[in-house]
Amino acid sequence: MATAAESLRSFDTVPRERPRLVRLARLARQHPTGVFGLVVIAGFVVLGIFGPAIAPYDPRELRTGGVLEGPSRAHPFGTNALGQDVLSRVIAGARISLIISFSAVFIGGSIGSFLGIVSGYYGRWVDYLIQRSGEAWAAFPSIVFYFMLITAFGQGVKTIIIAIAIGALFGGSRVLRGATMVEARSTYVEAARALGASEARIFFRHVLPNVLPLTVVLMSTSLGGAILAESALAFLGIGVEPGTPSWGIDMSGENLTVARLGYWHVVVFPGLAISLVVLGANLLGDALRDIWDPRLRR
């Protein structure tokens, strides 16, 4: 029979929970691409917040001299056809693009996630109504809806946010519906019902906390699509107001014309900014998916 001292020694050998920083460091080593994506997104968020203080020039300033200058020490990204500093416009454009994309993803993702979770948990006519509505919406061309909404309410940041949010409403609802159906039919939920727990308690105490991480993953992976949608609308001339620093605007109109004449820097640097932030959002979303739900790995 073990003595009290031996019991205490065996208790001391039980591994303690690793500190949070150690666990975060291990996750960072396991998912380096996710860390890269997080750094990219965080960097552009900093640009969006402190852009006016960081930008070397006023992004709206028009100059008669120094038009279409190539990259130089004074203008690292060159100037456009209006004499505006391209670097300053890329920095200022981060604010507009991130405000629109983050807001649209949060609004559309929250509502869409709620619909998917409710559809998967309650099923029956609720599931049928939500899923048929999603299928009908998916059959309607998004660009036509964008044109209709912006024509009716005018160009502006709020209108673009609402348009992209509605367009992404049912994007992840089917994924959350499936995950919720699995949780609702799990053993611990059946045990909670057998013990007399109410449906509201089961939903909010057991099912919802287990599917919420998937909601964050879906939102992060949708961020890149929202940025591309905002840029595409600006490219088509139905985005934010003309003159507003925007990556999509800087890749459209007369900038495309002068780029074909050899002034590549006018559109290449805004395009690289879009590509980099979309890549960062996708890498971050993939890493979060692997961490929170390894079953979703490709």
Break the chain into its structural domains and give their ranges.
31-50+86-296
The pLDDT of residue 11: 44
Region 85-103 average pLDDT: 89
pLDDT tens for 175-212 read: 888 888 888 888 888 888 888 888 788 888 888 888 88
pLDDT tens for 281-295 read: 888 888 887 777 655
The CB-side HSE value for 64 (13 A sphere, CA atoms) comes to 0
pLDDT tens for 228-271 read: 888 888 878 787 877 788 888 888 777 788 888 888 888 899 88
pLDDT at 298 over 50: no
Q: Are 99 and 48 in contact (CB under 8 A)?
A: yes
Region 211-231 average pLDDT: 82
Tokens describing residue 16: 């303690």
Region 146-170 average pLDDT: 85
242/107 Cα distance (integer angstroms): 25
Domain 31-50+86-296 adopts which CATH fold?
MetI-like fold (1.10.3720)
Region 88-116 average pLDDT: 89
CA angle 60, 107, 42 (to 5 degrees): 55
